[in-house]
Amino acid sequence: MAELIGGLGTSHVPSIAMALDKGLRDSEEWKPFFDGYAPARQWMAEKRPDIAVVIFNDHGNSFFLDRLPTLALGVADRYRPADEGWGPRPVPVFEGAEDFSWHLADCMVEGHFDPLLCRDLDVDHGMQVPMELVFGRPEAWPVKVVPILVNTIQYPIPTPQRMWALGELLRRAIDSYPGNDRVVVLGTGGLSHQLQGARAGFINPEADREWIARIGSDPTRYRAMSREDYIEEFGSEGAELIMWLVMRGCMDAEVNTLHQHYFAPASMTGAGMVLLENAA
Ligand code: DHB
Ligand code: FE
């Protein structure tokens, strides 16, 4: 059967992509941020997953407010990088783990999660940035991908509890998938930020640091919080963090936090990462 080898939570801020495109990786401003991801890159290179399940939200690039699924699942054999207004970025096309996607679609519908099934989907910075952070800019991505998209841009967004349950279902899908694929799960978004409204510019580094420290070892509180709590504590867009709960809910109760990193932001967004392995 397939094996869950680890879970990664990470921000997907678009300025990370811009920094890479402009060759700023080793600049004074960015080097500390990118260096914090080196252990995760190393881990991916050593563990060599076959499939990356990536949970992210589209940001008005492939879906818009006229048609917006609460939950969508890619079932394609390839996904193009979305053009977010400056032309598609020079990252490779993503190869889809089509068979696993259809298995997951079966499991989801059977388990009363009913996603929009996407055979044709462009994927935006929500997926591009996490992939680049842990796999760099290869000629071809070393893993096949399964995109799970969650609406976090138009209220009502799904509940944190629902996201955790989706993680548990994802785990059952991995454990029941024939073959011996090694699967890593990437939960993306956050950390604290608010791009709009009266609190535009709001970040909460203290809450971010606590999230990074506790999401592995002690996620109970985050699992119990309401959507309003997420918005209050992390900002309206910081509520993207509910997508990390899919990753965490997929893992065992006991995990080891192998690496963690938080970048005290000089920008609009708290940014960081955790890498988890099941303890058993
Ligand atoms: C920004 C956009 C995002 O999607 C995100 O997760 C964080 C920040 C931004 O535009 O700054
Ligand atoms: Fe985002």
Confidence of residue 266 (pLDDT cuts 50, 70, 90): low
Q: Within a 10 A sphere around the Cβ of 154, how many other Cβ atoms?
A: 12
The tens digit of pLDDT for each residue in 61-112 reads: 999 999 999 999 999 999 999 999 999 899 999 999 999 999 999 999 999 9
Q: Which residues contact 86 (CB under 8 A, 6 or more apart)?
A: none
- Residue 185: per-residue pLDDT: 99
Number of domains in the chain: 1
Instruction: Annotate the chain with three-state secondary structure.
Output: CCEEEEEEEECCCHHHHHHHHCCCCCCCCCHHHHHCCHHHHHHHHHHCCCEEEEEECCCCCCCECCECCCEEEECCCEEEECCCCCCCCCCCCEEECHHHHHHHHHHHHHCCCCCEEECCCEECHHHHHHHHHHHCCCCCCCCEEEEEEECCCCCCCCCHHHHHHHHHHHHHHHHCCCCCCEEEEEEECCCCCCCCCCCCCCCCHHHHHHHHHHCCCCCHHHHHCCHHHHHHHHCCCHHHHHHHHHHHHHCCCCEEEEEEEEECCCCCCCEEEEEEEECC
Confidence of residue 265 (pLDDT cuts 50, 70, 90): low
Structure tokens at 171: 């785990």
- Residue 268: per-residue pLDDT: 81
Structure tokens at 106: 């079966």
Per the annotation, the verdict on 103 as an active-site residue is: no
Which of 13, 128, 188, 234 for a ligand 1 pocket mutation test, highest count of atoms within 8 Å of Cβ? Answer: 13
Which of 12, 63, 230 for a ligand 1 pocket mutation test, highest count of atoms within 8 Å of Cβ? Answer: 12
The closest-lying atom of ligand 1 relative to the alpha carbon of residue 11 is 6
The one catalytic residue in 12, 59, 103, 193 is 193
The tens digit of pLDDT for each residue in 15-50 reads: 999 999 999 999 999 999 999 999 999 999 999 999
Report the nearest-CA residue for atom 5 of ligand 1. Answer: 13
pTM of the model: 0.98
Q: How far is the CA of 56 from the centre of ligand 1 (A)?
A: 12
Report the nearest-CA residue for atom 3 of ligand 1. Answer: 13
Q: How far is the CA of 61 from the centre of ligand 1 (A)?
A: 13
Residues whose beta carbon lies within 6 Å of some atom of ligand 1 = 12-14, 59, 189, 193, 195, 237, 240, 268-269
Structure tokens at 139: 């000629």
Per the annotation, the verdict on 261 as an active-site residue is: no
Which listed ligand is nearest to 85 at the C-alpha? 1
**Mean pLDDT on 259-278:** 89
Residues across the chain: 280
21, 200 in Cβ contact below 8 A? no
> Phi first, then psi: what are they for 88, rounded to 5°?
-60, 140
Residues of the domain holding 135: 3-278
Percent of the chain clearing pLDDT 90 (strictly above): 95
Q: How far is the CA of 15 from the centre of ligand 2 (A)?
A: 11
- Cα-based angle 200, 261, 232 (whole degrees, multiple of 5): 30
Check residue 165 and give left, alpha or beta (phi > 0: left; psi -120 to 50: alpha).
alpha
Which listed ligand is nearest to 271 at the C-alpha? 1
Q: How far is the CA of 130 from the centre of ligand 1 (A)?
A: 13
- Residue 264: per-residue pLDDT: 72
The tens digit of pLDDT for each residue in 117-163 reads: 999 999 999 999 999 999 999 999 999 999 999 999 999 999 999 99
Nearest alpha carbon to residue 248 among 271, 274, 270, 229: 274
**Mean pLDDT on 208-237:** 98
**Mean pLDDT on 247-262:** 98
Report the nearest-CA residue for atom 4 of ligand 1. Answer: 13
Report the nearest-CA residue for atom 2 of ligand 1. Answer: 13
Report the nearest-CA residue for atom 6 of ligand 1. Answer: 13
The enclosing domain of 124 has a CATH number of 3.40.830.10
**Mean pLDDT on 249-275:** 91
Distance CA(154)–CA(243), nearest Å, equals 15
Name residue 161's amino acid. Answer: Q
Q: How far is the CA of 270 from the centre of ligand 1 (A)?
A: 10
Rg over alpha carbons for the chain, rounded to the nearest Å, is 17
Structure tokens at 207: 């809450």
* Distances, alpha carbon 49 to alpha carbons 41, 65, 189, 269, 280, in Å: 12, 35, 21, 29, 19
Q: What is the mean pLDDT of the chain?
A: 97
